[in-house]
Amino acid sequence: MARVIERDITSTVAEFDASLRAAAAGRIEGRASHYRIGWDDVMLEIDVVPGPERRIALLRLPTLRVTYRFVGGSEAAQRALLARLDRAMHRGGG
């Protein structure tokens, strides 16, 4: 059975794409709305859909609904891959 994780993130599709490609260089297939990443025995499919804009006073923030679907590998290996991607894609903030 596939393990599925859904997240709402603040990002544009282009920013997410660039960050993901840097995080999984040489291991990624697909483009802007659907990706596949093979890492050791883990296969991960990622779907990205633009979400509603968030507004804080005059600040407007784009959002994405990101679905991570693990279709292979142990749960420990899946967690390790997701942690690796999260660390590599983390953006600073104040």
pLDDT digits (tens, 9 = 90+) for 45-88: 999 999 999 999 999 999 999 999 999 999 999 999 999 999 88
**Is there a contact between 69 and 44 (Cβ–Cβ < 8 Å)?**
yes
Q: Name every residue whose Cβ is closer than 8 Å to that of residue 60 and which is 6 or more positions away in sequence.
A: 53, 54
pTM for the full predicted model: 0.89
Judged by DSSP in three states, 10 sits in strand
